[in-house]
Amino acid sequence: MTDHTPQPDQIILRWLPVEETDDQDLEARGLEILSPDERQRYRRFRYDRDRRLYLTAHILLRATLAELGNRSPESWSFSVNRHGKPHVVPDNGSPPLRFNLTHTAGLAACVVSAEYDVGLDAEFLDRRTDPGLANRFFSPVERAQLEDLSGEERSQAFFDIWTLKESYVKGRGIGVSLPLRSFGFTLPEDDRGRITFSPPLGDLARHWSFFRVRPGSNHTLAVAVNHPPGDEPLLLSSQAAPLADLF
């Protein structure tokens, strides 16, 4: 079998638009590769839309791990830390891949690294943002950036900052225990510029790299990578194959 294990500096991001489908065979086939716990969670969703999103996200994750870790999609087991962040349960001989998962209206995505802890967040670019959210969750520097913008640009910057903050929280895997106003991001002038990070007390900016990716006109994605100072992780991002071809 070809070895697709990522190089230490490579961060693999895969995203998948969530299709409107009522393909029962695909659903049945997909459910077979989930664990009993995952199947139970799938069945607890009230709405078809949420069930489909959950199934797509977890198949995408298992198929991506299978490809990168040279093991079948159904063979992966997961455990969670005390804040709920899932990780792979090591298996004899398998590479210790790290990952994070996100799902939002119309999109699922996962990020995988062989070496670093990673965090990932996706949001649907909703044109109607609530200005009160920035006041509650953003640092003064983040709020000042929004105040300099208007219309579409302001709304995009809001979601870029939101997803970056979530990616950091998810990269650390500590959930809501971190005050969100205690750290912040400065967005670059253009897409090639670097995102500047002001960490909370006890953390250092040089341990982190951040990336923002637009997987289409309706969504934004942010990736956080926790690494030793001096390392320069490289993000390799792509749309995954259609769900039916993934497993």
Ligand X SMILES: CC(C)(COP(=O)(O)OP(=O)(O)OC[C@H]1O[C@@H](n2cnc3c(N)ncnc32)[C@H](O)[C@@H]1OP(=O)(O)O)[C@@H](O)C(=O)NCCC(=O)NCCS
* Least Å from the CB of residue 17 to ligand X: 15
Distance CA 145, CA 109 (A): 27
Of 46 and 192, the one with the shorter C-beta distance to ligand X is 46
* Least Å from the CB of residue 191 to ligand X: 22
Of 102 and 145, the one with the shorter C-beta distance to ligand X is 102
Tell the residue number behind the tokens 């998948």, with chain if given. Answer: 16
CA angle 150, 152, 154 (to 5 degrees): 45
**Token pair recorded at residue 228:** 């030793």
Tell the residue number behind the tokens 């997803």, with chain if given. Answer: 163
Of 15 and 54, the one with the shorter C-beta distance to ligand X is 54
* Least Å from the CB of residue 3 to ligand X: 26
* Least Å from the CB of residue 181 to ligand X: 9
Chain residues binding ligand X by CB under 6 A are 54, 57, 83-86, 100-104, 121, 137, 162, 165-166, 169-170, 173, 175-176, 180
Distance CA 162, CA 210 (A): 13
* Least Å from the CB of residue 170 to ligand X: 4
Distance CA 57, CA 111 (A): 11
Of 84 and 132, the one with the shorter C-beta distance to ligand X is 84
> 3-state SS string over 129-165?
CCHHHHHHHCCHHHHHHHHCCCHHHHHHHHHHHHHHH
Of 119 and 233, the one with the shorter C-beta distance to ligand X is 119
